[in-house]
Amino acid sequence: MTSEFVRHEPCPNCGSSDALSLYSDGHTWCFVCHNRTPATNEVVHNPHMTKKDVTLTGSAERLQKRNISEKTNHFYRIYRDGDTLRFPYFTSDGVLKGVKIKNKKKIFTYEGTSTDTLFGQHLFPNTGKRIVIYEGELDAASGYEAMAGWPHVSLPHGAASAKKDVQKQIPLLQGYEEIVLFFDADDPGRKAAEEAASILPPGKVKIARMESYKDASDALQANDAEAIRKAIWDAKPYRPDGIIEGKTLQTLVTTPIPPADHDYPFKGLQDKLHGIRYQELTTITSGSGQGKSTFCRQLAVNLLTKGVRVGYLALEESNRRTALGLMSTAVGKALHIGEHDRQELEDDFHSTLANWNLYLFDGFGSFDPDVIYNRIEYLASGLECRVIFLDHLSILLSGLDGDERRTIDQTMTRLRSLVERTGIALFLVSHLRRSNNDRTSHEEGGRVSLSQLRGSAGIAQLSDQVVALERNQQSSDERDIATLRIIKNRYSGETGFAGKIKFNLDTSRFTDYETQTENFNPATDF
C-alpha cells in the first residue's frame, strides 16, 4: 500500500514545532532528530537501512524550486536520481564512504558507511578566516549559493547530534579564525547551537539568526539570498551563560531598591544586619540546646503576623510540635507545655494559624535530600512563599553518603542556587563542631566563630549572614539569656556583638535584654 504524506506535526522526541511528518499508513518521521515511529500493523521497517555498496549516481541538476544552481550541486556532488536527492559523504581526504538519500516524502535512507566528517568538509581547507556550519545539506548548499567565498558545511545528523558531531571536528575547526553556527530558527536549533558552541574554542564562535525564515534553504527559496549573507555578517559572538557585558546593567544598577524587605524583631540584630532581604541565605547557628529553633519560630511569627507567606520545614519534629511552637510565640503562652483545654486551643488556632499564610512540610522522619529540595522549590515557586525556614542542615545531610565536607559543600551549593533562582529569603539552622578542650564549650556560653561551623567552608562562603546564639546553660542566673553575635555579614560587613535576648518560658518568646556594647577584649575577640 502506498504511503502518502498527510501533514507536519510537532515532534514529541526532540520538540521541533513542525519537523515531524505524518503519513497515511500511520508512520511518522522527524527530519530534525531522525526519529521514526512505525506504521499501523507494521512488522519490521528500518528507514536507516544501510547497503554496503555506495556509488555516485544521478546528475547535478539545478534544483529550481530551491534556487540551487547546477554549479553548486556539482560542487557538492548533490545528485538527483529519479525521485531522490543523494548527498555524498567523504572522508577528510576525499574518499567516498556513504550517501544520504532523501525522497520526495522526506524519508531518509543511507548507503555505505558513516563518516565522522561534516557534509562538504573535504571541499575546503583546514584553515581559514571563517567557516559556516548548518543543520542540513541543502542549507549548506543554499549558503554557498548566496556566499560562495566561504566554506559552507553541514551536520551529518541534524540538531539532535550537533554537539557530538561538532566535537569530532574540533581539531579542524581550531584552524579557523571564526566559526559561524547557522542552525534552524526553532527551539531544537537554538538549543543545538548553544550546546555546540559551548565546546568550541572560546572567542571564535558566532551564532547566526534570521527573523523571517527558519533556515538558509527557506530564505533562498524566497529569493532572499541577502538574508543569508546578512545573517552571517551580523552573527553574534557566543557568550556562555553567566557572562554579562557591564554596559547592559544600567537598569539593574540604577533601579532604587529598599535596603531591606522586612525588619528583625530584635534591635541589635536589626542595627547590624539592616533587615531581612529576599534572595539571601541566612544561617542561624549555636551549640546544642541554645534556642536556635525557638529563635527561628519567633522570626517566622514576626513575618507571619505582617502577612508574609512563609514556608517552614522542621525536619526533626512533628508538625504538631512546630505548629504549637509558632502559636505559643504568637499568643505569648506555652501551648506546647502542660495541659490546655480544647476551647483555648481552638481560640488560639483561629487567631494564628487560621489567619496566617503558612505552609509546613509534612515529612518528619523522611530525609531524602532530593525530596526536600523539591519541596522547597515548590514552596517558593508553586506556593509563592517569600521566606522559608529549614531546620536543620544536619538532618538533611543524614540522608547522604560520602565525605562530610564535600557533602556539605554540595548541599550548600544547591541551596544557594535555589535562593538565587527563586528569590526567596532562606533561613538555615546549622550546628557547630564541638569545642576544643582548651575552649569553653558552647553549652557553657563559649564564643562562636566561623571556623567552628560544621563544614565551615561551604556554609560560611555561601551564606549572606551567619548569626550565632551564645548561652551558658549551666549558669544559675543567666541561663535564659543569649548573646547574639554576627559572624558574617555580606551586606554591610558589620560583625560582632549584636545585643542580648532573654527567653521567657511562660510566654515562649525572646525579648531584648541588653543593648549596650560588650567591652572589647583583644585577647578573646576576633
| Residues 186 and 70 grouped into a single domain | yes
Which domain does 412 fall in, by range?
275-473
Closest CA relative to residue 120, chosen from 73, 58, 164, 85:
73
The per-residue pLDDT for 454 is: 66
| Residues 197 and 339 grouped into a single domain | no
Measured CA distances, 322 to 282, 375, 389 (Å): 20, 17, 12
List, for residues 200-227, the tens digit of each pLDDT value: 988 899 999 998 999 999 999 999 999 9
| Residues 22 and 59 grouped into a single domain | no
Instruction: Return the C-alpha cell found at 199.
Output: 565546546
Percent of the chain with pLDDT strictly greater than 90: 58
* Domain-ending residue, one of 237, 260, 295: 237
CA distance 174 to 127: 8
Name the band, by pLDDT with cuts 50, 70 and 90, for residue 118. very high
In this prediction, residues 141-170 reach a mean pLDDT of 93
**Cβ count within 10 A of residue 61:** 16
Task: Name which residue leads in pLDDT, 433 or 295.
Answer: 295
CA distance 390 to 388: 7
Range with lowest mean pLDDT among 162-171, 425-434, 464-473, 482-491: 425-434
The whole model's pTM is what? Answer: 0.56
Q: What are the contacts of 494-501 at 24+ separation with CB within 8 A?
A: 494/272, 494/273, 495/272, 496/272, 496/525, 497/268, 498/266, 498/268, 498/269, 498/271, 498/272, 498/273, 498/467, 499/266, 499/267, 499/268, 499/269, 499/271, 500/268, 501/266
CATH code at position 32 = 2.20.25.10
| Residues 389 and 338 grouped into a single domain | yes
Instruction: Return the C-alpha cell found at 44.
Output: 519490521
List, for residues 292-336, the tens digit of each pLDDT value: 999 999 999 999 999 999 999 998 888 999 999 999 999 999 998
List, for residues 386-430, the tens digit of each pLDDT value: 999 998 887 776 655 666 677 788 888 999 999 999 999 999 998
| Residues 228 and 354 grouped into a single domain | no
Q: Whose grid coordinates read 504524506?
A: 5
* Number of structural domains in the chain: 3
| Residues 372 and 402 grouped into a single domain | yes
- Give domain status of residue 22, yes or no: yes
The per-residue pLDDT for 239 is: 85
Average pLDDT, the chain: 86
Closest CA relative to residue 300, chosen from 389, 213, 407:
389
| Residues 57 and 33 grouped into a single domain | no
For residue 487, pLDDT over 90 is answered with yes
The per-residue pLDDT for 283 is: 95
- Give domain status of residue 92, yes or no: yes
The per-residue pLDDT for 265 is: 95
Name the band, by pLDDT with cuts 50, 70 and 90, for residue 524. very low
- Give domain status of residue 116, yes or no: yes
| Residues 181 and 64 grouped into a single domain | yes
- Give domain status of residue 23, yes or no: yes
**Cβ count within 10 A of residue 417:** 12
State residue 142 phi and psi, 5-degree precision.
Answer: -65, -40
The per-residue pLDDT for 392 is: 80
CATH code at position 360 = 3.40.50.300
- Give domain status of residue 56, yes or no: yes
The per-residue pLDDT for 228 is: 97
- Give domain status of residue 514, yes or no: no
Percent of the chain with pLDDT strictly greater than 70: 86
Q: What is the DSSP string of 245-295?
A: -GGGGHHHHHS---S-SB--SSHHHHHHH-SB-TT-EEEEEESTTSSHHHH
| Residues 158 and 295 grouped into a single domain | no
| Residues 87 and 140 grouped into a single domain | yes
The per-residue pLDDT for 369 is: 80
Name the band, by pLDDT with cuts 50, 70 and 90, for residue 478. confident
Element (DSSP H or E) covering residue 132 = strand 128-134
List, for residues 3-51, the tens digit of each pLDDT value: 677 777 777 665 666 667 777 777 776 665 556 677 766 543 343 344 4
Name the band, by pLDDT with cuts 50, 70 and 90, for residue 156. very high
- Give domain status of residue 512, yes or no: no
Name the band, by pLDDT with cuts 50, 70 and 90, for residue 526. very low
Asked if residue 195 lies in contact with residue 163, where contact means CB atoms within 8 angstroms, the answer is yes
| Residues 452 and 311 grouped into a single domain | yes
3 state SS for 197-232: HCCCCCCCEEECCCCCCCCHHHHHHCCCHHHHHHHH
Task: Name which residue leads in pLDDT, 113 or 72.
Answer: 72
The per-residue pLDDT for 274 is: 95
CA distance 374 to 371: 5
| Residues 407 and 315 grouped into a single domain | yes
- Give domain status of residue 449, yes or no: yes
For residue 481, pLDDT over 80 is answered with yes
CATH code at position 83 = 3.40.1360.10
The per-residue pLDDT for 200 is: 92
Range with lowest mean pLDDT among 18-32, 275-289, 411-425, 491-505: 18-32
